[in-house]
Amino acid sequence: MFRSVFFAAGLAFLIASLGRLIPHPANVTPLTSLAIFTPLLFNRRIALGIVLCSLLVSDLCLSYILHISWFGSWSLFTYSGLLGIVCLTSTDISKSPLLSLLKLMLCSTFGYWIWTNFGTWLLSSLYQPHSLASLSQCYVAGLPFLRNALAGNAVYMLLFSVIIWRVAPGVLIKPR
Protein backbone atom coordinates (compact mmCIF):
# COMPACT_ATOMS: atom_id res chain seq x y z
CA MET A 1 0.00 0.00 0.00
CA PHE A 2 2.78 2.46 0.92
CA ARG A 3 4.43 1.82 -2.42
CA SER A 4 1.30 2.66 -4.41
CA VAL A 5 0.63 5.81 -2.34
CA PHE A 6 4.25 6.87 -2.84
CA PHE A 7 3.88 6.26 -6.58
CA ALA A 8 0.63 8.27 -6.71
CA ALA A 9 2.24 11.18 -4.83
CA GLY A 10 5.29 11.08 -7.11
CA LEU A 11 3.08 11.10 -10.16
CA ALA A 12 1.03 14.00 -8.75
CA PHE A 13 4.29 15.90 -8.01
CA LEU A 14 5.48 15.30 -11.57
CA ILE A 15 2.16 16.45 -13.06
CA ALA A 16 2.10 19.53 -10.80
CA SER A 17 5.66 20.52 -11.69
CA LEU A 18 5.29 19.90 -15.41
CA GLY A 19 1.87 21.54 -15.41
CA ARG A 20 3.52 24.87 -14.64
CA LEU A 21 6.22 24.42 -17.28
CA ILE A 22 4.15 23.57 -20.33
CA PRO A 23 2.26 26.39 -22.04
CA HIS A 24 -1.11 26.87 -20.38
CA PRO A 25 -3.81 29.49 -19.90
CA ALA A 26 -3.18 31.82 -16.96
CA ASN A 27 -3.90 30.17 -13.58
CA VAL A 28 -4.58 26.75 -15.07
CA THR A 29 -2.04 24.71 -13.14
CA PRO A 30 -2.35 21.56 -11.03
CA LEU A 31 -0.82 23.03 -7.86
CA THR A 32 -4.08 23.69 -6.02
CA SER A 33 -5.18 20.12 -6.66
CA LEU A 34 -1.82 18.86 -5.43
CA ALA A 35 -2.20 20.99 -2.29
CA ILE A 36 -5.61 19.39 -1.68
CA PHE A 37 -4.61 15.77 -2.35
CA THR A 38 -1.26 15.51 -0.58
CA PRO A 39 -2.71 15.88 2.96
CA LEU A 40 -5.17 13.10 2.07
CA LEU A 41 -2.26 10.79 1.27
CA PHE A 42 0.40 11.86 3.76
CA ASN A 43 0.81 13.65 7.05
CA ARG A 44 0.92 17.44 6.90
CA ARG A 45 4.70 17.74 7.07
CA ILE A 46 5.24 15.46 4.08
CA ALA A 47 2.35 17.12 2.20
CA LEU A 48 3.88 20.56 2.81
CA GLY A 49 7.24 19.25 1.58
CA ILE A 50 5.77 17.83 -1.63
CA VAL A 51 3.93 21.07 -2.47
CA LEU A 52 6.92 23.24 -1.54
CA CYS A 53 9.30 21.09 -3.62
CA SER A 54 6.92 21.22 -6.57
CA LEU A 55 6.78 25.02 -6.34
CA LEU A 56 10.55 25.38 -5.96
CA VAL A 57 11.43 22.96 -8.77
CA SER A 58 8.97 24.49 -11.22
CA ASP A 59 9.94 28.06 -10.23
CA LEU A 60 13.63 27.31 -10.72
CA CYS A 61 12.90 25.74 -14.12
CA LEU A 62 10.73 28.70 -15.15
CA SER A 63 13.45 31.07 -14.04
CA TYR A 64 16.01 29.25 -16.15
CA ILE A 65 13.75 28.92 -19.21
CA LEU A 66 12.26 32.43 -19.15
CA HIS A 67 15.26 34.26 -17.64
CA ILE A 68 13.19 35.77 -14.86
CA SER A 69 13.66 36.04 -11.12
CA TRP A 70 12.81 32.75 -9.45
CA PHE A 71 11.67 34.28 -6.21
CA GLY A 72 10.14 37.69 -5.60
CA SER A 73 7.79 39.51 -3.27
CA TRP A 74 4.84 37.86 -5.04
CA SER A 75 6.21 34.47 -4.01
CA LEU A 76 5.20 35.10 -0.40
CA PHE A 77 1.54 35.13 -1.40
CA THR A 78 1.81 32.33 -3.97
CA TYR A 79 3.68 29.96 -1.65
CA SER A 80 1.75 30.80 1.52
CA GLY A 81 -1.55 30.47 -0.34
CA LEU A 82 -0.76 26.97 -1.56
CA LEU A 83 0.84 25.87 1.71
CA GLY A 84 -2.21 27.27 3.52
CA ILE A 85 -4.43 25.01 1.41
CA VAL A 86 -2.38 22.03 2.58
CA CYS A 87 -2.74 23.10 6.21
CA LEU A 88 -6.48 23.76 5.97
CA THR A 89 -7.45 20.66 3.99
CA SER A 90 -9.68 18.40 6.04
CA THR A 91 -8.61 14.79 5.83
CA ASP A 92 -12.01 13.36 6.77
CA ILE A 93 -13.68 12.86 3.41
CA SER A 94 -14.79 9.25 3.85
CA LYS A 95 -18.50 10.03 4.25
CA SER A 96 -18.94 11.79 0.91
CA PRO A 97 -15.62 11.90 -0.97
CA LEU A 98 -16.86 13.46 -4.21
CA LEU A 99 -18.82 16.20 -2.47
CA SER A 100 -15.95 16.79 -0.04
CA LEU A 101 -13.42 17.10 -2.87
CA LEU A 102 -15.72 19.52 -4.71
CA LYS A 103 -16.07 21.68 -1.59
CA LEU A 104 -12.32 21.59 -0.99
CA MET A 105 -11.65 22.60 -4.60
CA LEU A 106 -14.12 25.50 -4.54
CA CYS A 107 -13.01 26.84 -1.14
CA SER A 108 -9.33 26.49 -2.05
CA THR A 109 -9.75 28.17 -5.42
CA PHE A 110 -11.67 31.14 -4.01
CA GLY A 111 -9.41 31.44 -0.97
CA TYR A 112 -6.25 31.35 -3.07
CA TRP A 113 -7.70 33.93 -5.49
CA ILE A 114 -8.66 36.27 -2.63
CA TRP A 115 -5.24 35.91 -0.99
CA THR A 116 -3.08 36.30 -4.12
CA ASN A 117 -5.11 39.22 -5.46
CA PHE A 118 -4.70 40.93 -2.11
CA GLY A 119 -0.96 40.37 -2.50
CA THR A 120 -1.04 41.84 -6.00
CA TRP A 121 -2.87 44.90 -4.72
CA LEU A 122 -0.53 45.28 -1.75
CA LEU A 123 2.79 44.77 -3.52
CA SER A 124 2.32 46.16 -7.01
CA SER A 125 2.10 49.71 -8.20
CA LEU A 126 -0.83 48.87 -10.48
CA TYR A 127 -3.44 49.86 -7.93
CA GLN A 128 -2.52 53.24 -6.48
CA PRO A 129 -3.43 54.74 -4.14
CA HIS A 130 -4.10 51.80 -1.86
CA SER A 131 -7.77 52.18 -1.10
CA LEU A 132 -10.92 50.12 -0.97
CA ALA A 133 -11.73 51.28 -4.51
CA SER A 134 -8.36 50.13 -5.88
CA LEU A 135 -8.68 46.82 -4.00
CA SER A 136 -12.07 46.34 -5.66
CA GLN A 137 -10.50 47.11 -9.04
CA CYS A 138 -7.85 44.49 -8.38
CA TYR A 139 -10.44 41.82 -7.63
CA VAL A 140 -12.52 42.74 -10.69
CA ALA A 141 -9.39 42.58 -12.87
CA GLY A 142 -8.66 39.16 -11.38
CA LEU A 143 -12.02 37.61 -12.33
CA PRO A 144 -10.73 36.06 -15.60
CA PHE A 145 -7.95 34.41 -13.60
CA LEU A 146 -10.52 33.06 -11.14
CA ARG A 147 -12.56 31.61 -14.01
CA ASN A 148 -9.45 29.91 -15.42
CA ALA A 149 -8.43 28.61 -12.00
CA LEU A 150 -11.88 27.11 -11.38
CA ALA A 151 -11.85 25.34 -14.74
CA GLY A 152 -8.26 24.14 -14.37
CA ASN A 153 -8.72 22.98 -10.79
CA ALA A 154 -11.83 21.01 -11.75
CA VAL A 155 -9.91 19.21 -14.51
CA TYR A 156 -6.85 18.52 -12.34
CA MET A 157 -8.98 17.37 -9.38
CA LEU A 158 -10.63 14.86 -11.70
CA LEU A 159 -7.25 13.74 -13.04
CA PHE A 160 -5.71 13.34 -9.57
CA SER A 161 -8.84 11.56 -8.30
CA VAL A 162 -8.63 9.02 -11.11
CA ILE A 163 -4.90 8.50 -10.57
CA ILE A 164 -5.25 8.03 -6.82
CA TRP A 165 -8.36 5.85 -6.96
CA ARG A 166 -6.74 3.73 -9.68
CA VAL A 167 -3.29 3.42 -8.13
CA ALA A 168 -4.21 3.38 -4.43
CA PRO A 169 -7.93 2.47 -4.22
CA GLY A 170 -8.71 2.59 -0.43
CA VAL A 171 -6.73 5.71 0.32
CA LEU A 172 -9.49 8.25 -0.20
CA ILE A 173 -12.46 6.01 0.56
CA LYS A 174 -11.55 4.15 3.70
CA PRO A 175 -13.60 1.08 4.65
CA ARG A 176 -15.71 1.48 7.78
For 127-163, the pLDDT digits (tens) are 999 999 999 999 999 999 999 999 999 999 998 888 7
Exposed/middle/buried for 147, CB within 10 Å: 0-12, 13-18, 19+?
Answer: middle
For 82-103, the pLDDT digits (tens) are 999 999 987 666 667 778 888 9
Give the global pTM.
0.85
